[in-house]
Amino acid sequence: AQRVTQPEKLLSVFKGAPVELKCNYSYSGSPELFWYVQYSRQRLQLLLRHISRESIKGFTADLNKGETSFHLKKPFAQEEDSAMYYCALSRGSGNTGKLIFGQGTTLQVKP
């Protein structure tokens, strides 16, 4: 069965510190992996997807198929990064729909 695991419910760091939000998945095929973010009082929105291989707001994530991981990283955290982060998996490519979400990790960046 497909599954996404985010082992940390809360990650608290100081401003300027490095951040790594962990995500592990189980899927036998070739998944698409995403990170979605929800800032306070805002709706859930896409942060980045692995196929784009881009940096968004200083965040990057590399798909490691050997370790079945898709950890989200940022070298220097900012207070505005405080939010709830969800890792999600989609089967196949293109608009095939169903996203399977992890439980989410709250990132708290302290001044």
Q: Using CA atoms, how far apart are residues 61 and 46, in angstroms rounded to an integer?
A: 13
DSSP letter at 80? G
Tell me which residues touch other proteins (CB under 8 A).
Answer: 4, 9, 32, 34, 43-46, 49, 51, 86, 88, 90, 93-104
Residue 15 or 91: the one with the smaller Cβ distance to other proteins is: 91
Residue 15 or 56: the one with the smaller Cβ distance to other proteins is: 56
Compute the least distance from the CB of residue 101 to other proteins, in Å: 3
Residue 38 or 68: the one with the smaller Cβ distance to other proteins is: 38
Residues 6+ apart with CB under 8 A from 85: 6, 21, 35, 36, 37, 38, 47, 72, 104, 105, 106, 107
Q: End-to-end CA distance of the chain, in Å? A: 41
Compute the least distance from the CB of residue 74 to other proteins, in Å: 21
Compute the least distance from the CB of residue 44 to other proteins, in Å: 4
Residue 82 or 101: the one with the smaller Cβ distance to other proteins is: 101
Name residue 19's beta-bridge partners.
Answer: 74
